[in-house]
Chain A
Amino acid sequence: MRVLTTDLLDLFITRLANTWEVRLPILLPDGTRVIGSPDDGTPALHGGTVLSKPTAAFFPQQETLFTATKGEFQEPQAPDRLLFVLGFTPRDLACLRFIDRFFADGWRDNIYFRQRRNAVVAGLSGYSGPGGSLLPPAGGNCDLELFWDGTLWLAIPYSDSGIKIIAELPDTAPESAMELFRQATLTPPDENENLIKRASELLRADRVPDSFWAEIGDRCIACTGCNLACPTCTCFGVQDWRSATTVERSRMWDSCQLDGFMREASGHNPLGTEALRTRRRIHHKLAADPEKWGEISCFVCGRCDSVCPTGIGILAVTREMVARFE
């Protein structure tokens, strides 16, 4: 375990940027924190919620799949430099692990792995949660983790890359920080995780009536934010841009809250109402994915609840569901 003090942070990031294409939480002019390049703003590794999902570094909202010019196909080149993405909370790392499985399963998604392969993934924990809350260490699922004790970062490596990257940092971790780290590892699962599990049980036992979904769906304005903010949502749409000589095919994040997501060419839609679509969104995470992947695919990051303008993010809905039907 090494130590990164705040006075060394800029230098640490500068050195990283010599080797890697760095993405990390930065502060924008209005106080919003996003995952961006060090050139985009001031690094801000702690201080509130980061709404942007760090998984977007590997699966961006829109990306080119190929271009075809006069019959010749060209795939985008692999990035010049590998990505170093800092900013995954322990929950985000669980999401990343999940979508790594998803994109590797069956037909391996080379577009995703073009960015993901050999990228360095760095976690953030300690007092870097929303509102300065304590996030327990991830303890893995990444190359290295930075644990904020309120004054300095403990740097914990989990891979060879991680060991190399923090090798030059001092190894003089203060005992107080070490003790906090040990205590934090013992943090029990929070009530939201239990809530999600209980809601999952209800759904799988078919104990949530259609009338509930009608009520929730009636509040959906189809902004699609819940899907687009979700680190485990992987659905995408495909478009072709045609000019006189070239076709560019790209994909972009799609949303199961949209009518067109499941609309058939005939015009019929098996998910033709907000109620059915909202049910599907929650059901997919809490009931279908456990069947397919052996685990619930909501890792309680809270982003859909943050972006939903009408309060029907997954936590809000499951809270209501559990209160009414358990």
Chain B
Amino acid sequence: MFYLVSDKGRVVGVEPSTTHPVSRGGLCVKGWNAFGFVHHPDRLTTPLIRRDGELQPASWDEALNLVVEKLRNVQERHGADAVMFASSAKATNEENYLLMKLARAVFGTNNIDHCARLCHSSTVTGLAETFGSGAMTNSISCIDQTDVIFVIGSNTTEQHPLIGSRILNAVRNGTSLIVADNRRIRLARHAELHLRHTNGSDVALLLGMMHVIIRDGLADHDFITTRTENFAALAAAVADWTPERAAVATGLEAVEITTAAHLYAGAECAMIFYSMGITQHSHGVDNVRCIADLAMLTGNVGRPGTGVNPLRGQNNVQGGCDMGALPDLYSGYQKVSDPQQRQKFARAWGIEELPTTPGLPLTRAMNAASVGLLHGMFIMGENPMLSDPDQGHARTTLENLDLLVVQDIFLTETAALADIVLPAACYAEKDGTFTNTERRIQRLRKTVEPPGEACADWQIICDIAERAGYQGMRYSSPAEVMDEIATLTPIYGGIAYDRLDTHGLQWPCPDRSHPGTPLLHVERFTRGLGHFSPVIHRLSAELPDDEYPLVLTTGRTYFHWHTGSMTRRTHLLDREEPRSFIELHPDDAARLEVRDRDMLLVSSRRGNVQTEARVTTMVIPGVVFMPFHFAEGAANALTNNVLDPESSIPEFKVCAVRVEKLP
């Protein structure tokens, strides 16, 4: 957590909090530079309307009336579900709640989602099924109390640097570290065991480990008997997954799998951390199920220093989910398909009836739009042109919409395609709350005024509701919105601004006297008994072949954040990582006669991009890695728009590409 330093209406620096239980006086490089884009001259300062093919300045009245008129128009022609609302994991809880309310109460559709669809929807689905709650089970401070840390599919020191640092410190103090990730990430250099399994083979690795644990008598049968159900099905599913079979499927040695199983299961307390390496697969939910199964099998849930800990990447992606910016859930994971919940929200919002069927996930909405089944999109603080798989598909889809409204702080690659652009305030210019990865709801405080006519997202949303004829969104401040959230959302029932002044509160926090919950599933799982959920191993959708012989896996770099709209406008961060690159193993580089910093053409079945070679042993032979931050050399021009059937997450982590040296 940090404070902003301002001088004469401008933010001029940051100060870390010295008392915060997570940041503890430190910040990562993005935190230290978080002020750097706030006053950038590219900030949007006035609404824009496309006239004669060009985005031109307009008044708020014109722009917002047009938004309402056009949204209504699309709905009249094609039905209420012909529009999609995309909320934002960068916006506050209050804003996510309000956009969800706008979609459902004012425009009568459950087509509301946000970019958690692209990062942790597999977690929400997988952990809801097994544990009953799709969030980190434990707190970050538990790292100091554990014996073994198992990190799988998370480059923690780069993507969650303070958590990664805490893991490094724990290792120095004697905690054992297992890293499963075929890139040689910093954590791997400090690990007792580094498993470089092939991309997409996590299920095989985890089934193999569970096989060993049961075979060698390391399962926690007391826990299994008293706290869980469906163990027999799991035991049957892993029975054939000998470490030898898992070794074939993963490219590891059998002994590595056995060692990992013994190390993890042999500990009194063991924590699992995972992130996109687990979730962003066409079998992402199955990966999550396996992780939950592994933790339950060894009794590593519900105690300090244990747990299943999905690391949420954006400042408020946990909050975006909590607030019901999801097509099937209201705030607090209450189902839209449940008539009682629907009635509760309808009554509170003064609406006769709320839509009954779950809406479209963001990724499926894009697919629907591409075949003419969805006609309008309202996108708040998202940039699908760079963040969605298969950029060509994303571009055609967005260009073909009857209506595209984008509300953002910069004219992103997506906003540049919009019919109407609404200028928003950034985080430094508004009040609200964010919920961090350990479910900690924390205050955001306004430091400076937004530039020009830019407005806070919550104010814009409320204004749209009013112009659409709905009077139930009149709030004097975000605090008042939170009061409404608390009345409708049991896990946020005790949340109010006057309680968040110091370090916030961790949900569930059901009432005003509740101190918050650092540890989930202590005596019972949220769903009652933990549910073992066996899976079968499925291959990734697109594997390398003669034409496209390399596996491309995509991700992030330490210095940039997602599509770079902020970090690429932050001088030091962009200086550190100024351009697109591809990591290539020296063996592959030698075969292709490529040297470090050569320009390469990378092609997949979706498209091709030019990017710079980074020859490195970070990756294994046959695998290349690209970050997706860069508009020039966009990794997502290559990725495969194939979705997990349950969570609708795209398979960003595996597709097949060809690499050629440019003359």
A309 touches B18 (CB 8 A): no
A304 vs B575: C-alpha distance when bound (angstroms): 23
A34 CB contact (under 8 Å) in B15, B31, B40 = B15
Nearest opposing residue in chain A for B11, CB measure: A62
Chain B interface: which of A6-14, A204-212, A218-226, A279-287?
A218-226
Of the candidates B31, B189, B502, B576, the one having the most CB atoms from chain A within 10 angstroms of its own CB is: B576
Is A82 an interface position by the 8 A CB rule? Answer: no
B7 touches A60 (CB 8 A): yes
> Given known contacts A28-B3, A309-B166, is B189 in contact with A218 (CB within 8 Å)?
yes
Contact with A along B556-578 (1 / 0, CB 8 A): 00100000000000011001100
Is B165 an interface position by the 8 A CB rule? Answer: yes
B26 touches A311 (CB 8 A): no
Contact with B along A44-64 (1 / 0, CB 8 A): 000011011000100011110
A139 vs B534: C-alpha distance when bound (angstroms): 72
Q: Which residues does chain B contribute within 8 Å of A309, judged by CB atoms?
A: 24, 26, 28, 161-162, 165-166, 169
Is A254 an interface position by the 8 A CB rule? Answer: yes
How many B residues touch A, CB cutoff 8 Å? 49
B168 touches A62 (CB 8 A): no
Number of A-B contacts (CB under 8 A): 126
Is B607 an interface position by the 8 A CB rule? Answer: no
A228 vs B39: C-alpha distance when bound (angstroms): 21
A225 vs B13: C-alpha distance when bound (angstroms): 13
Is B339 an interface position by the 8 A CB rule? Answer: no
Nearest opposing residue in chain B for A63, CB measure: B12
> Given known contacts A221-B164, A254-B572, A307-B25, is B19 in contact with A61 (CB within 8 Å)?
no
A29 touches B501 (CB 8 A): yes
Contact with A along B597-613 (1 / 0, CB 8 A): 10000000000000000
A239 vs B575: C-alpha distance when bound (angstroms): 10
B441 → A minimal CB distance (Å)? 14
Chain B interface: which of A163-171, A174-182, A240-248?
A240-248
Is B586 an interface position by the 8 A CB rule? Answer: no
Interface size class of A (residues with CB under 8 A): 35 or more
Q: Which residues does chain A contribute within 8 Å of B27, judged by CB atoms?
A: 223, 225, 307
Give the dominant DSSP class at B's interface.
mixed
A242 → B minimal CB distance (Å)? 7
A252 CB contact (under 8 Å) in B29, B36, B168, B503 = B36
Q: Which residues does chain A contribute within 8 Å of B26, judged by CB atoms?
A: 223, 225, 307-309
A248 vs B15: C-alpha distance when bound (angstroms): 24
Is B302 an interface position by the 8 A CB rule? Answer: no
A61 vs B27: C-alpha distance when bound (angstroms): 15
Q: Which residues does chain A contribute within 8 Å of B18, judged by CB atoms?
A: 31-33, 48-49, 51, 306
A134 vs B54: C-alpha distance when bound (angstroms): 66
Q: Which residues does chain B contribute within 8 Å of A62, judged by CB atoms?
A: 12-13, 35-36
A125 vs B13: C-alpha distance when bound (angstroms): 27
- Interface positions of A (Cβ within 8 A of B): 28-34, 36, 48-49, 51-52, 56, 60-63, 218-219, 221-225, 228, 237, 239, 241-243, 246, 248, 252-255, 258-260, 267, 306-311
Q: List 22 A-B contacts (CB under 8 A).
A: A29-B443, A30-B17, A34-B5, A51-B16, A52-B5, A60-B13, A63-B12, A221-B28, A225-B16, A225-B26, A225-B27, A225-B32, A241-B39, A241-B40, A241-B41, A253-B13, A259-B576, A260-B572, A260-B576, A307-B16, A307-B26, A311-B172
| Closest 3 A/B residue pairs (Cβ) | A61-B13, A309-B165, A239-B571
**Beyond A252-B572, A307-B16, 12 additional pairs, beta carbon < 8 A:** A29-B443, A31-B19, A33-B18, A48-B18, A60-B7, A60-B13, A61-B14, A221-B186, A222-B29, A225-B16, A259-B576, A309-B166
